[in-house]
């Protein structure tokens, strides 16, 4: 091949490459002036210290178990902010305490990630639960409401059976419901109150997990909501702190049992999070005024800020994470 032919060939190839490059960057649908690829700048950064309300607060106390709809300021569960991307498409989740707080945030996120969701709650929380059910259905997902008291073993077994029936299966279990009541001294905790806390926070996850295991296949995920109280307990949460330590052990022990079966078990350890748990007896009036103010963030967390953790722990791409406890405490406490 002579030099003239070589040059012509290079010119042809160069022109073809330039044409392809021009086609990629040139406007598509030129009549509308739209580009095939739009170059945008980096996303806006949000300062986490000013993202949500800071103390001092002046909340109104509510009788147990409290309603998110009556809180001031109202908690953010991600109703308007959480955007899904199909990470849990086709999955089937049961969440206890799914009417408000962290459980509600997880339920909203799961639905927007493509999962069908069953929530459990106390009958007194029906107003909050109806809002969650509507939000799940708005995403085109199955929503199953199962009210009832987790202190009853028979109900816990029925809860799982109804969730499996309503969802058509089960592969995500979130043991989140809890009771927390502040008492200044062990002398102020009656045996009845101690039993109530233990049954809700420790017995119920035991009963529910036993009932759920026959339905969980390899790839399924169990998530427990524990707390920084497990490792840095407050003096006025004597019984609650013990249950959160038990929840942490639940995660680490059960993960070893179920790892060979391909079922992952993890936990989330929140710090001060703005939920009905606090305003319905979980904190003193004095503590509520400054709630979350002693963290490095200078404020309490919102349930929406934990939703992505529950999604990640249930997603297939977290397949090597089991027996772990993930903290979310604004810089304070340890998981």
Q: Both 165 and 229 in a single domain?
A: yes
Q: Do the beta carbons of residue 98 and residue 129 sit within 8 Å?
A: yes
Which range marks the domain in which residue 28 is found?
A: 1-39
Span 56-74, average pLDDT: 95
Ramachandran class of 168: left when φ > 0, alpha when ψ lies in -120 to 50, beta otherwise: left
Assigned domain for 198 exists: yes
User: What pLDDT is stored for residue 334 in this prediction?
Assistant: 76
Q: Estimate the crossing angle of helix 204-212 against helix 238-258, to 10 degrees.
A: 20
Q: Both 180 and 273 in a single domain?
A: yes
pLDDT tens-digit profile of 42-63? 678 999 999 999 999 998 899 9
Q: Do the beta carbons of residue 325 and residue 244 sit within 8 Å?
A: no
Q: Both 127 and 214 in a single domain?
A: yes
User: What pLDDT is stored for residue 43 in this prediction?
Assistant: 73
Assigned domain for 46 exists: no
Span 180-200, average pLDDT: 98
Annotated catalytic residue within 82, 121, 203, 240:
240
Does residue 240 have an active-site annotation?
yes
Assigned domain for 135 exists: yes
For residue 217, with 0-12 CB atoms within 10 Å meaning exposed, 13-18 middle and 19 or more buried, which class applies?
Answer: exposed
Q: Please check the confidence at residue 141 and state whether its pLDDT lies above 90.
A: yes
Q: Please check the confidence at residue 185 and state whether its pLDDT lies above 50.
A: yes
Q: Both 72 and 26 in a single domain?
A: no
- Cα angle 321, 323, 327 (rounded to 5 degrees) comes to 80
> How many folded domains does the chain comprise?
2
Q: Please check the confidence at residue 31 and state whether its pLDDT lies above 70.
A: no
pLDDT tens-digit profile of 248-272? 999 999 999 999 999 999 999 999 9
Q: Both 310 and 232 in a single domain?
A: yes
User: What pLDDT is stored for residue 335 in this prediction?
Assistant: 73
Q: Both 97 and 193 in a single domain?
A: yes
Assigned domain for 51 exists: no
Percent of the chain past pLDDT 90, that is, above it, reads: 85
Ramachandran class of 197: left when φ > 0, alpha when ψ lies in -120 to 50, beta otherwise: alpha
Q: Both 170 and 264 in a single domain?
A: yes
Q: Do the beta carbons of residue 135 and residue 105 sit within 8 Å?
A: no
Lowest mean pLDDT among 51-60, 185-194, 200-209, 267-276: 51-60
Q: Which residue has the higher pLDDT, 1 or 293?
A: 293
Percent of the chain past pLDDT 70, that is, above it, reads: 87
For residue 204, with 0-12 CB atoms within 10 Å meaning exposed, 13-18 middle and 19 or more buried, which class applies?
Answer: buried
- CATH number of the structural domain spanning residue 80: 3.40.50.720
CB atoms under 10 Å from CB of 154, counted, come to 9
Assigned domain for 142 exists: yes
């Amino acid at each position: 091949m002579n030099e003239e032919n070589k040059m012509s060939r290079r010119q042809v190839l160069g022109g073809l490459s330039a044409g392809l490059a021009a086609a990629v960057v040139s406007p598509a649908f030129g009549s509308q002036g739209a580009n095939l690829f739009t170059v945008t700048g980096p996303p806006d950064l949000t300062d986490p210290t000013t993202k949500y309300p800071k103390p001092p607060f002046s909340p109104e106390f509510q009788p147990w178990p409290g309603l998110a709809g009556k809180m001031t300021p109202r908690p953010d569960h991600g109703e308007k902010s959480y955007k899904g991307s199909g990470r849990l498409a086709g999955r089937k989740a049961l969440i206890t305490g799914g009417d408000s707080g962290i459980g509600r945030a997880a339920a909203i996120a799961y639905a927007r990630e493509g999962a069908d969701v069953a929530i459990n709650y106390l009958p007194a929380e029906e107003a909050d639960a109806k809002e969650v059910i509507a939000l799940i259905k708005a995403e085109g997902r199955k929503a199953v409401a199962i009210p009832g008291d987790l202190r009853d073993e028979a109900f816990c077994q029925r809860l799982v059976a109804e969730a499996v029936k309503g969802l058509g299966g089960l592969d995500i279990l979130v043991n989140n419901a809890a009771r927390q009541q502040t008492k200044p001294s062990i002398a102020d905790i009656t045996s009845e109150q101690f039993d109530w806390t233990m049954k809700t926070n420790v017995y119920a996850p035991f009963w529910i997990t036993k009932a759920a295991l026959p339905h969980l296949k390899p790839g399924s995920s169990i998530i427990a909501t524990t707390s920084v109280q497990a490792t840095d307990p407050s003096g006025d949460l004597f019984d609650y702190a013990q249950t959160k330590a038990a929840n942490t052990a639940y995660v680490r022990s059960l993960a070893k049992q179920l790892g060979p079966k391909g079922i992952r078990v993890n936990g989330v350890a929140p710090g001060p999070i703005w939920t009905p748990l606090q305003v319905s007896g979980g904190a003193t009036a004095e503590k509520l005024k400054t709630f979350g103010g002693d963290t490095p963030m200078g404020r309490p967390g919102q349930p929406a800020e934990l939703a992505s953790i529950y999604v990640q722990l249930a997603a297939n791409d977290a397949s090597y994470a089991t027996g772990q406890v993930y903290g979310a405490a604004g810089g304070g406490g340890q998981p």
